Amino acid sequence: MRALFMTGVVSVLATGCSLTVAGGLDECETSADCESDQVCVQQFCLPLPAGCLADPYGSTEADAIRMGALFPLHTSPEPGASLDESDVQGLNAALLALDEVNQRTLNGKKIALFFCDTGSSKDVAEKQARWLVDDKKVAAILTAGSSQTLAAADVTIPAGVLTMSYSASSPELTVKPDTNGGSVGLLWRTSPSDAIQGSVIANLLRTRSDLFGGTIPSKVGILYVEDQYGQGLSNIISEQLNTGPTRVANRTFLYQRGGDVKVVLDSLDMTYDPDVTVLIGFADDATAILKEASTRTNLKRENGHRWFFSDSVKDSTVLADSLAASQARAFYGTAPAQGTGQAFSTFSARFNDKYKKDPAGYAYTSNAYDAMYLLALSASYSLSTTNAVTGVKMAEALTRVSSGSSSTNTQLTNSNFTYLAAELAANRPINVEGASGPLDFDSNGETRAPVELWQVGDSGFVTIASNLEPPQ
């Protein structure tokens, strides 16, 4: 298994490869006929898709079970783009699970995980997904982020390939058609829908004066990134604040990912002057926003303005910048809660041992770990029942991991993997609790999870509560 991903390969993926065709191309029938940094496309050897690795993580055996992974390790596809630390640690969590599964094998087979860095681009993700499906013939793809997952699903669903996301939270995934004419959906996620997080945030804003200096905010600004994630979460928060017996005045403001935030902050500052601003954005943008906001009169903390953060801001990158950290310190945010059982304890200890980092310091690490384990369990079921691994049979297996009785709830740990795989192979339903909590999937391939409340401390993120639920 490779060492920690960021130590060597990241710089290669940042530069990528062009798909421009030059003269003197070699002919081929499959990618095995090409050089290690090439793939066979329409019988010619061409460079790998930008951001993709030629060799897989895990097994390199010819009969390995092929899966793909699309992670946004960089904030853009452009050379020199900065790292997205949360997704780097998400990859590490998935690779930890992959290593543990391959130590045990699936009916004598291991998993080969073909990897691509999407550079946080849905267009790049779609092209990479097509390569994974058409060239690598993967049965499933593990994805991150709402917009990139939806783009990949446009490729995978028609091909009968299972898509599992560990951090896509947009409500759009709930309603996306994904059966491809069959009876089982092919789009799943271990992260809960933002319908849950958004309702929790709105409820905190109108009921928890202790989070906002002792006063319920009378004006809330909602500053969101312009993509499916930002649109979905901002809409839910605004709608919730506009309904019910206790309504809170609010206004939404959008910004472009990686763009200049000065104009939108001017508008937020001078035309609205909120008591609290909910920031829905990724770590690199959050850092830029907090620094720029420190120069705006009505957005300064010393003048009474307060921030409230969404899950994607829970990233050490924000704290690495001294000015951004000082602007964020003592303010609060939410994220899907980590698990509280043995599965999380086992994962946390092993992750810390391997990577020397606390996985609770990042959003969605435990979700990535669980997602990889679920893909392995579902592949084992597919092999046991049909002697092949297909997306449809893997999806069928996932309908059986939350259908056992409560008395048979089993922790999804490395030591329980073989038992759980055997139960599924014997056509017995199971009920599992992962590192991210109970994996109780509904008919839409979604799991419901509580929300945690965290605070920006002097040297990291501090969990204040881990069991918040939307109001009934």
CA 265 to mean position of chain CA atoms:
27
Mean pLDDT rounded to a whole number for the chain = 90
Contact between 79 and 69 under an 8 Å Cβ cutoff? The reply is no
What pLDDT score does 17 carry? Answer: 35
- Gyration radius from the chain CA atoms: 22
If one compares 450 and 100, the residue with the highest pLDDT of the two is: 100
Question: DSSP string spanning 196-261?
Answer: HHHHHHHHHHHH-GGGGTTS--SEEEEEEESSHHHHHHHHHHHHHHTSSSS--EEEEEEE-TTS--
Per-residue pLDDT tens digits for 316-375: 889 999 999 999 999 999 999 988 899 999 999 999 999 999 998 898 999 999 999 999
Q: Which two tokens stand for residue 203?
A: 């409820």
What pLDDT score does 14 carry? Answer: 43
Quick one: average pLDDT of 221-245? 95
Per-residue pLDDT tens digits for 53-98: 989 999 999 999 999 999 999 999 999 999 999 999 999 999 999 9
Per-residue pLDDT tens digits for 419-431: 999 999 999 999 9
Backbone angles phi, psi at 458, to 5 degrees: -70, -30
Is residue 295 classed as helix, strand or coil in its secondary structure? coil
Percent of the chain scored above 90 by pLDDT?
77
Secondary element (H or E) of residue 93: helix 85-102
What is the rounded CA–CA span in Å between residue 290 and residue 136? Answer: 42
Quick one: average pLDDT of 276-287? 96
Predicted confidence (pLDDT) at residue 6 exceeds the cutoff of 70: no
Q: How confident is the model at residue 24 (pLDDT cuts 50, 70, 90)?
A: low
Predicted confidence (pLDDT) at residue 42 exceeds the cutoff of 80: no
Q: How far is CA 329 from CA 86, 307, 319, 418, 434, in A?
A: 19, 10, 9, 44, 31
pTM for the model = 0.88
Predicted confidence (pLDDT) at residue 459 exceeds the cutoff of 80: yes
Identify the residue whose tokens are 């543990």. 100
Q: Which two tokens stand for residue 76?
A: 């853009």
Secondary element (H or E) of residue 320: helix 316-320
